[in-house]
Amino acid sequence: MIQTTINGTPRQIDTDPGTPLLWVLREQLGLTGTKFGCGVAQCGACTIHLDGQPVRSCSTPASEAEGKKITTIEGLAGADGTPHPLQKAWVEAQVPQCGYCQSGQLMSAAALLRDTPRPSDAQINAAMAGNICRCGTYERIRKAIKAASGQTSVEG
Amino acid sequence: MNKWSRRGFIGAGLLTGGALVVGVAIRPGNPIEKLKGDVAPGADEQLINAWVKIGPDHRITAIVPHCEMGQGAHTALAQMLAEELDADWADVSVMQAPANGAYVVPDAARAFVAAWSVDAPNWLEPTYNGLFTQISKLGDVMITGGSSSVRSTGQHTMRIAGAAARQMLIAAAAETWQVPAADITTENGKLVHKASGKSARFGDFAEAASKQAMPQTPPLKDAAAYKLIGKSVARLDIPAKVNGTAQFGIDAQIPGQKLVYAAVKAPPVPGAKVASMNADAARSMIGITKILNMKDFVAVVADSYWHAQQALNAIDISYTSTDGDALDSAGLGARFKKALDKAGDTGGKALADEGDAPAAFKAAAKQLKADYQVPFVAHAAMEPLNCTAWVRDGQCDIWTSTQVPLMARSAVAKALDLDHDRVTVHQLYLGGGFGRRLETDYTVQAARIAKDIGQPVKMIWSREEDIRQDFYRPADISRFSAGLDAKGKPISWNNAFTQLNDPAGAWDVAHYDIPNRLIRHAEADMHLRFGSLRSVDHSQQGFFIESFIDELAHEAGQDPFAYRRDLLGASPRHKAVLEQVARMANWGEKLPPQTARGIALVKSFGTIVAEIAEVDMRDGKPRVTKVWCCADAGYVVNPDGFAAQMEGGIIYGLTTALYSGITLTQGGVTQSNFHDYQMLRMPDAPEIKTSFINADSKTLGGAGEPGLPPIAPAVTNAIFAATGKRIRALPILQHFA
């Protein structure tokens, strides 16, 4: 049994310790907002926060969650349901197309803003380079991050 | 291998079925009774016609026969219906139509038939046409592809449906109020009779309206009267896509059922079978339920996908040999060149033959020849292929993300030997389609596994399987020769290439004033299976044609923009688009050293798009920093959504141009995952500026695909302008390694 906290709720996970967190979240806990894209930490679709740090859940064994706090896209909004500023900016900038990669994009961006409240273009590029989007929403993501960090409006 | 045989089937079905009577609505009645259980099960929900329902809360639901894969079709189609209905947009939501024969896409059949050279003079007439519905049923034409949703279903079905529903509401109100229908107006979801001061909301008359006869040819609004079409309304699917609640195929759950999970592996060389396998090590691994040798693939079923995939990786599989085993990319290229050599200057199947291109070439003041080449390209949608299936009691349910739900139903029915009506397809959002999900291979695999194990199963492909078992954009070589007169104007264009699929005429250069043109298909075989990838033949033809035109401009010593413009005298819409993109970019302005711009112009799927790319060569390899894009799609329904599609097409095309090359080793695909099949990422994403021209509100062009074809040549033309190096083979970055 692995003791962990997921989106603020203490949970016990019953799995073999080698199974990546991605599959525990999706198949055992029904938290399907976190996506499978590549299985080898190359695309970022599975990004979650482990004790606040962005990690690729497809390549993070469940055992690493012992005693730690996991946040997934389902827990990104405030406890009262208020959307994260990035979620608002994402809607305002009409970022998603197919939407499949966007949970991972949002989780990477949220980790960036926590550590770097007003990121430069170079900092955004560095933080987001691990997240692939095949629909081509990169520029809107960049705009939404800048808007959420109070640097521009979405139109800017 | 001809994947388009279904077109022949549809055409033949029509031709043997009797005369083609276009523009006559023969669809009897209103299919409400049969559909109500599927789309409006609530006792108080009124289905006004097959494409719109209105609830007692005045909620208006557009029932859309296309999947949503990020292209924004759900919102744009609801917008078009709501426009003609005069609905209040705040009341409008959208639902995916069930995979039911009533929701075939009639215009897709029309397009297929038109492409089959059957005379269809009224094909643009906005009339809901029952004949084509019947044809569509024959061919399971419920397709999301060909950039067709808005220009076809939107124009010819959703608008008609909205206008018809509006008339039915008016007729119902006229009966109750005992006033002439002509005196009732509609606005923002309300019916109003000015003279008596009576008014009501649409929901108040929903039930009465559903009993009215459905008009087949209701009048439609002129563009000047549009209130919703042309507005950037927010996409209806976006809120669920920022909080993890959007349900994609891979997220499928079956209420009350516990799923098991399957991982699969097919032979690396197409056509091979499983010869033998040693699964001893896999059998004892954690969570394994069953190991299946399905002959054309191996499947492992387990309590989780992870366990299934780990066990699959531990199975030692050997495969039967095929003719393709020895083939590598160089061998395939040699085969293509041989086909072109054999065709020579005039051989192969002529697709266009205007004037006398070979004679004009001989007489030309300057002569140019060039071969262009593109590799196989995999789709690599972010959501790996997957399908959930449950077979029991002589029926099968599948849950998946597909662009062709009815074809998936037919393919599963055939594979399991079931009647079509015993197969139900539950559609979820697509985590990208790009043409890969026009195929039904993965749905059939899941259904076969489910039948074998007798319990509900979710099959997921690894990314490696997704890259290696694709229906690829075909590799191709295109050979050109051209002759210029003394002033540099092209007088001869002779072109032959090896791959010809869809859409018709992607090779065409008739918009340019070149008097002698000979264009030929020199067919060459390939063993790798191929399919439609975003913009299909235009993705390679755009690169070929717009690169070679650029070569002509430089050979003539002329500016590439001015050279094209001067050849567009008879194509004013092309010219306007080209001139506008040049204005946007301030074409000709002085640029920093080692920086240059390239331009390209391609019409595809009814939309003319010109793009300019700026390339920075300071690192010794190209970095695309800016892209300007101008499009004429007739009339843009949702400007922001349209811009998003141009941006998407540009990034997808840029990834393909810079990075994408599937190569073969011993007949199988070399690449396997994103480390060796690379994608464009945020640091290399250019700034994109888009504008559009509304030149014709009656005939719309597509949005999903037309942004793609011009970007590769715009970039390679910029590289030439910066360095003098002409890139004639994609992907680009192989030349700068």
Residues B239-257 have pLDDT tens digits of: 999 999 999 999 999 999 9
Please list, in sequence order, all residues whose beta carbon lies within 8 angstroms of the beta carbon of residue A125, skipping any fewer than 6 positions away.
Answer: B682, B683
**Degrees (nearest 5) of the Cα angle B311, B315, B319?**
140
Query: Which among B243, B248, B253 is the nearest to A100, CB-wise?
Result: B248
Residue A130 DSSP one-character state: T
For residue B253, the model assigns a pLDDT of 97
Q: Comparing B5-226 with B253-322+379-468, is the CATH topology the same? A: yes
Rounded-to-integer distance, Cα B642 and Cα B43, Å = 38
Residues B375-390 have pLDDT tens digits of: 999 999 999 999 999 9
Residue matched to tokens 């002759």:
B483
Residue matched to tokens 């799923």:
B259
Q: In 3-state terms, what secondary structure has residue B617? A: coil
In this structure, the strands spanning B52-54 and B60-64 are antiparallel
Q: Where are the domains of chain B?
A: 5-226, 253-322+379-468, 344-376+472-736
Q: How much is the mean pLDDT over chain A? A: 96
Answer with the residue of higher pLDDT: B691 or A155. Answer: B691
User: Cβ distance B190 to B169 under 8 Å?
Assistant: no
Interchain contact, B242 vs A128, CB within 8 Å? no
User: Cβ distance A26 to A34 under 8 Å?
Assistant: yes
* Stretches in chain B below the pLDDT threshold 70: 1-50, 100-143, 216
Query: Which among B72, B250, B685 is the nearest to A139, CB-wise?
Result: B685
Instruction: List chain B residues with CB under 8 Å of A33.
Output: 243-245
For residue B12, the model assigns a pLDDT of 20
Helices A138-148 & B639-658, crossing angle to 10 degrees?
120
For residue B118, the model assigns a pLDDT of 31
Rounded-to-integer distance, Cα A134 and Cα B708, Å = 13
Please list, in sequence order, all residues whose beta carbon lies within 8 angstroms of the beta carbon of residue B630, skipping any fewer than 6 positions away.
Answer: B577, B578, B580, B581, B584, B609, B610, B611, B690, B691, B692, B693
**Degrees (nearest 5) of the Cα angle B485, B489, B495?**
90
Task: Kindly report the nearest CA distance between residue B458 and chain A, in angstroms.
Answer: 11
Overall average pLDDT of the A92-101 stretch = 98
Instruction: List chain B residues with CB under 8 Å of A130.
Output: 681
Q: In 3-state terms, what secondary structure has residue B346? A: coil
Rounded-to-integer distance, Cα A115 and Cα B143, Å = 46
Please list, in sequence order, all residues whose beta carbon lies within 8 angstroms of the beta carbon of residue B379, skipping any fewer than 6 positions away.
Answer: B432, B434, B435, B436, B470, B533, B534
Instruction: List chain B residues with CB under 8 Å of A16.
Output: 286
Which of A100, A121, A124, A141 has the most B C-beta neighbours within 10 Å, making it the best mutation to test the interface with B? Answer: A100
For B600, the token pair is 């390209």
For residue B127, the model assigns a pLDDT of 32
For B123, the token pair is 């094909």
Residue matched to tokens 């669920």:
B240
CB pairs under 8 A between A and B: 181
Task: Kindly report the nearest CA distance between residue A126 and chain B, in angstroms.
Answer: 7
Rounded-to-integer distance, Cα B209 and Cα B154, Å = 22
Interchain contact, B245 vs A33, CB within 8 Å? yes
Element (H, E) at B392: strand B386-392
Fold adopted by B253-322+379-468: Aldehyde Oxidoreductase; domain 4 (3.30.365)
Peptide bond before residue B731 is cis, with ω within 30 degrees of 0: yes
For B154, the token pair is 């939107």
Domain architecture of chain A: domains with CATH = 2-75 (3.10.20.30), 85-148 (1.10.150.120)
Residue B561 DSSP one-character state: H
Rounded-to-integer distance, Cα B268 and Cα B527, Å = 12
Neighbours of B665 (CB within 10 A): 12
Rounded-to-integer distance, Cα B532 and Cα B539, Å = 10
User: Cβ distance A44 to A131 under 8 Å?
Assistant: yes
Residues 48-67 of A with CB under 8 A from B: none
Residues A118-137 have pLDDT tens digits of: 999 999 999 999 999 999 99
For residue B64, the model assigns a pLDDT of 84
Element (H, E) at B92: strand B92-96
Interchain contact, B238 vs A132, CB within 8 Å? no
Query: Which among A90, A103, A141 is the nearest to B244, CB-wise?
Result: A103
Pick B5-226's CATH classification: 3.30.365.10, 3.30.530.20, 2.60.40.1180, 3.40.50.720: 3.30.365.10
Rounded-to-integer distance, Cα B348 and Cα B625, Å = 41
Domain B344-376+472-736 belongs to what architecture?
2-Layer Sandwich (3.30)
